[in-house]
Structure 1
């Protein structure tokens, strides 16, 4: 099991739904679970990953950078429990979790 943490400067979009969290996906083969929680992070966005697949830090960073660039979130913690999901699935689950909060 590998634990990774990433932090990015956030954009202009703070969560507006008023929900305390959102969840997308499931922890199953080739999938992952994303828990998104609004949180005062000083305008940052944080991603915490628990994954069964080691040595893919650069791939995770690239997917998160793309998501932050597209969605421009801020003040959100994304907690991810991964079971070998491929990057398009990670991107989809992030979009779903963010959409439920935005």
Structure 2
């Protein structure tokens, strides 16, 4: 297992909803826990993944996600069992849409 941490500053979209869990950890899938927390306008994402050695790919997917949503004061925890980047993006979008009811 590998643990990665990403932090994006100066988000503009705050969410005000109870924490949400989206997805299921299983063969080739992942779960996303998203929750509002005071982080001085930042968005923090912690990833625990079985796919070791893909930090650059995770960085690209997380940067793309942050560019779409611009979340502030949000913590996201991802538990991954080898999901593809497309599935990661889908689950992240589903988690935010569950919290906001909207699109980027």
TM-score bucket of the superposed structures, by smaller chain: over 0.9
* Structure 2 residues not aligned, in runs of 5+: none
Structure 1: give runs of 5+ residues left out of the alignment: none
**Normalized against structure 1, the TM-score is what?**
0.93
Considering only aligned residues, what root-mean-square deviation do their CA atoms show, in Å?
Answer: 0.9
Counterpart in 2 of 1:7?
7
Q: Taking structure 2 as the reference length, what is the TM-score of the superposition?
A: 0.92
Match of 1:55 in 2: 53
4+ residue segments displaced more than 6 Å: none
Aligned-partner SS, 2:5: strand
1:2-34 Cα offsets, whole Å, 9 max, x none, are 111110114211003x32x01111001111000
Residues 29-63 of structure 1 deviation map (CA, whole Å, 9 limit, x = unaligned): 11100000110011001110111110101111100
